[in-house]
Amino acid sequence: MVSPVPKDLLYTETHEWVKIEGDIAIVGITDFAQNQLTDIVFVEMPVLGRTVERGKECAIVESTKAASDIYAPVSGVIEEVNVLVESNPERINSDPYGDGWLYKIRITNPNELKGLLDPDRYRQVTVNA
Amino acid sequence: MTTALESPLISFHVEHNASIVDFAGWMMPLHYGSITHEYAMVRDHAGLFDVSHMGRFDLMGDDVISEFQKMTTRRLEGRSYGRVVYTLIVNEAGKILDDILVYLRGDTYISLVVNASNRSKLFSWFQNYLPSHIKLVDRTFETAMVALQGPFALEMASQLLDSNPNDLPFYRFNPSLSEPVLVSRTGYTGEDGVEVAGDFDSISQFCRKAIKLGAIPAGLGARDILRMEMGYPLYGHELDEETSPYDAGLEWAVDLDNREFIGANALRLERESSKGTFNTGLLMQGKGIPRQGFSVRSDGQDIGVVTSGGFSPLLKRGIALVRLPSSPSENSTPTIVIRDREQEAEWKTPPFVPDRTARKKVVPNE
């Protein structure tokens, strides 16, 4: 079963969640996404310092079933990646909103935040998926 | 719009929180929570698979074996009753229609297990070519079938069945009249185990009791990884109607000398032309996971294609079954193209993991 969508996060239609802390966006994938993927076995993280563009592929998650692109929800520069998840990718399945976070982006265009989905809009996306 | 078929064991799946997918028109469990966990349980303990979606046919009549083998690449005559024979069914051009198991029950009775995706196709094919005195019955919808596989599977099965499955050699079955179910020492995982077919109630009971003894339900996701680690072919990947037994590296499953069957002449011509198609495996060196259709390269050249690819939880690396038009050169470093990047791999003739089936076991009464 998919757990309720956390109220303090923002979302994308491609099932990433975003937590804003000042000018940093922490990014992960939602419980809905990890459930669809099943066991995640490898993560290909973006390189530190890389410039990423909103809506473009930023990381890859490989599960036993298939590979999935993870997109940058906002444009910016990769500030940090979660090394714990790099060596323990199953954390994404077990704790997608906590320990399973993927990377942090230093936001370069705060206007883009308006394009993210609030929890209720995201819940709609999962219902219609 | 056609609705998908439901396994007779659907309530068992729902009870165990299965994640259901459409497979060959049947709603089947992909997993029950974790593909990796179910895989590990099969390799370390015992897993129970529902394979009721597979086609089950009965053929009855005089000379059924000599008639039916006119459509099989392997000779069926002269083998003892109680044997299970793996064979291919090819068309007149020698291309594979399916890979099946034939249960030799007696001189007027055989049973077949065929792939779910090919059930209708094969039923028509057989009906078209069998003489009218042979009765062909599709038992798929009146029966259920499961596979219990793993190092503890036999121990559990011996507590669940009247006859002792430990007495069955590899690829033998017990058509005992006292047992309501057909039990064979077969499987698709590389572990020892049994496959059991019968009426809904008997199989349902078998499942519930197996779970009580500690077997865990395992789905199609785990099943695919297990067979891939063994290098076992899967129809739609290693086998299809563009592929001959020689293309697939299955020469051993073709008995051409002194017999005729549909497709034999085409296969004779092919054998003479000695194509040289080479089937083997690759073990990834880095993180990428190969998938069907990805290119295999070496020294900047395309040298083949991935027929099946995935992640081996045992080896913690991606693995691939690959097909090459000719055998690779000794010192070549193969790569697989994954998302436009060549990723290094190492040649590995399957199986990738040890064969722990009953193939190597000495059985008391043999």
pLDDT tens for A2-15 read 568 999 999 999 99
Please, what's the largest Cα pairwise distance for chain B?
Answer: 62
Confidence (pLDDT) at B366:
41
Q: B225 contacts in A (CB within 8 Å)?
A: 64
Q: Is A2's Cβ below 8 Å from some Cβ in B?
A: no
Q: Inter-chain contact B289–A67, Cβ cutoff 8 Å? A: yes
How far does B88 lie from chain A, in Å, by closest CA? 28
Nearest CA in chain A to B291: A66
Confidence (pLDDT) at B44:
98
DSSP string covering B22-63? EETTEEEEEESS-HHHHHHHHHHS-EEEE-TTSEEEEEESTT
For B216, counting Cβ atoms within 10 Å of its Cβ (0-12 exposed, 13-18 middle, 19+ buried), the class is buried
Nearest CA in chain A to B222: A64
- DSSP annotation of B71 reads G
Q: Is A88's Cβ below 8 Å from some Cβ in B?
A: no
Per-residue pLDDT of chain A (129 residues; tens, 9 = 90+): 556 899 999 999 999 999 999 999 999 999 999 988 889 999 999 999 999 999 999 999 999 888 899 999 999 999 999 999 998 999 999 999 999 999 999 999 999 999 999 999 999 988 877
**Per-10-residue mean pLDDT, chain B, length 366:** 85 95 94 95 98 97 97 96 97 98 95 97 98 97 97 97 92 78 96 97 96 98 97 98 97 96 97 89 94 95 96 96 90 91 96 93 58
Residue B196: which of B235, B248, B233, B143 has the closest Cα? B143
Of the partner residues A38, A42, A44, the one whose CB lies closest to the CB of residue B35: A38
Q: Inter-chain contact B339–A67, Cβ cutoff 8 Å? A: yes
Q: Inter-chain contact A62–B311, Cβ cutoff 8 Å? A: yes
CA–CA separation, B227 and A52 (whole Å): 40
CA–CA separation, A58 and B252 (whole Å): 47
CA–CA separation, B306 and B320 (whole Å): 6
Q: Is B311's Cβ below 8 Å from some Cβ in A?
A: yes
| Cα Rg of chain B (Å, integer) | 21
Q: What are the tokens at B120?
A: 């209708």
Confidence (pLDDT) at B208:
97
CA–CA separation, B139 and B144 (whole Å): 9
Q: Is B34's Cβ below 8 Å from some Cβ in A?
A: yes
Confidence (pLDDT) at B186:
97
Q: Is B35's Cβ below 8 Å from some Cβ in A?
A: yes
